[in-house]
Structure 1
Amino acid sequence: MTDFPFRIVGFDLDGTLLDTSGDLAAALNHALASAGRPTLSVEQVKPMIGGGARHMLAQGMAATGGCTDAELNVLQRRLLDHYQANIAVLTRPFPHALDALDQLATRGVTLAVVTNKLEALARQILAELGLTDRFAAIIGGDTMGPGNGKPSRLPIDAMVARCGGGRAAFIGDSIYDITAAHAAGLPAIACSFGFLMQPVEELGAELVIDSFAELIPALERLA
């Protein structure tokens, strides 16, 4: 099929394609406990996800008493080591996500991931879940260099270029996702089931979906 309105569809990872909250919370709590801090529930951690590991850790430390940059440096390494060793214990695709990817591929759409997770970790988790081959581009928070993750437009521009160019749309669950997509001139769809830092209506996306079962019709409406 060649009449689908978008040639490229990009996805955020955490809170969009994958429910990574259990494994991320476990890694954060490992770091917090090592510093003598109380641990946090998965629901407490979810709004902290989306800006990368250091942002999540800083939020977790702030919620349990604050910290210095030096402490953050030490604890970030502990968090990442624990996460890398336990990256896909609880993590699974959201319901209907794989079916939506299949439907897009059938329509000839090129798929990509743009995440603020470190690229190596994004590639590891996709490999462990057997999803790597579905994506023509996998761009992490460090791929474009320090400070150039979302909400910068640079990773979105790189996504479009690496996928061969053409009309594109982006799917995400955070203000970082929607801001980056819009900065790059792309329409965006927000996931109400994601790790929301604020009400989904405040993200400024063109459309909101409550399930991946709604994605194909939403993209058609978006066009």
Structure 2
Amino acid sequence: MTNFPFAIVGFDLDGTLLNTLGDLAGAVNYTIGLEGRAPIPVDEVRPLVGGGSRKMLAKALEVTGGALPASRIDELFPRLLEYYEAHIAIETKLYPGGAQMLDSLASRGVQLALVTNKLEHLAVKLLGELGLSDRFYTIIGGDSLGPNTAKPRPDTLLEMRRRGVAGRAAYVGDTTYDTGAARAAGLPCVAVSFGFNDLPLAELGATAVIDHFDELIPTLERL
């Protein structure tokens, strides 16, 4: 099918394509436990996600007893990454309808990209463990292009365009990091209501909002 309006569709990872909340919460609670902090209920980890793992850790420390100096966060951060990498796909899974949605886009000749603020090697490992790597022509992490290039900057989405075929592109995300990056890159952004939304849906700045992946292709066709 060649009349689909987008040649490329990119996806955020955490809270958009995959429900990673349980495994992220496990890593966060392990790490703050090293500071004697009480664990955070899984649902309360949700608003901490979106800006990358280090920012997630810093926010978790803030809400469990107060911020720590950047030097101490620098010491704790590798411990979080080590724990998360060792437990990366215990609870994580595609959101409902995700596999069928990816199949439907691919059947329309759409190139699929994964653009996340997660470190690239962790994104690659996670997708590999879930058997999803081959679905994406490129996997771009928050560190792939160097420092200060992660969303909400547009750099990683512009790189997604550069690596892909010519034609229109759209992005799918769940937070203001995603909508902000898409806006700066000149791309429409569809937000998922079931993700780790950091603002009320009406305030995310998305081009459209969906409640289930069954709605994505019809929504993209209307954009």
TM-score bracket for the superposition, by shorter chain length: over 0.9
2:199 aligned with 1:198, yes or no? yes
Corresponding residue for residue 34 of structure 1: 34
* Distance in 2, Cα, partners of 1:74 & 1:114: 27
Corresponding residue for residue 70 of structure 1: 71
Q: Deviations over 1:63-118 (max 9, x none)?
A: 01221111101111111000000000000000001110000000000000100000
Corresponding residue for residue 164 of structure 1: 165
Shift of 1:39: 0.7
* Distance in 1, Cα, partners of 2:7 & 2:55: 33
Matched residue of 2:4: which SS? coil
Corresponding residue for residue 117 of structure 2: 116
2:114–2:140 contact (8 Å) kept in structure 1? yes
2:7–2:165 contact (8 Å) kept in structure 1? no
TM-score normalised to structure 1 length: 0.98
Shift of 1:197: 1.1
Corresponding residue for residue 21 of structure 1: 21
Unaligned runs of 5+ in 2: none
* Distance in 2, Cα, partners of 1:164 & 1:35: 48
Shift of 1:184: 0.6
Matched residue of 1:208: which SS? strand
Sequence identity percentage: 54
Shift of 1:166: 1.5
* Distance in 1, Cα, partners of 2:20 & 2:219: 24
Shift of 1:152: 0.8
Unaligned runs of 5+ in 1: none
Shift of 1:27: 0.1
Give the partner amino acid of 1:140: G
Q: Deviations over 1:173-206 (max 9, x none)?
A: 0001011011111011000000111111101111
Give the partner amino acid of 2:64: T
Name the count of aligned residue pairs.
Answer: 222
2:157–2:181 contact (8 Å) kept in structure 1? yes
Give the partner amino acid of 1:201: A
Shift of 1:164: 2.3
Q: Deviations over 1:146-165 (max 9, x none)?
A: 11000111100000111123
Q: Alpha carbon RMSD of aligned pairs, Å?
A: 0.6
Matched residue of 2:29: which SS? helix
Instruction: Kindly report which structure 2 residues correspond to 1:126-145, keeping only aligned pairs within 5 A, or say none.
Output: 126-145=127-146
TM-score normalised to structure 2 length: 0.98
Corresponding residue for residue 46 of structure 2: 46
Matched residue of 1:158: which SS? helix
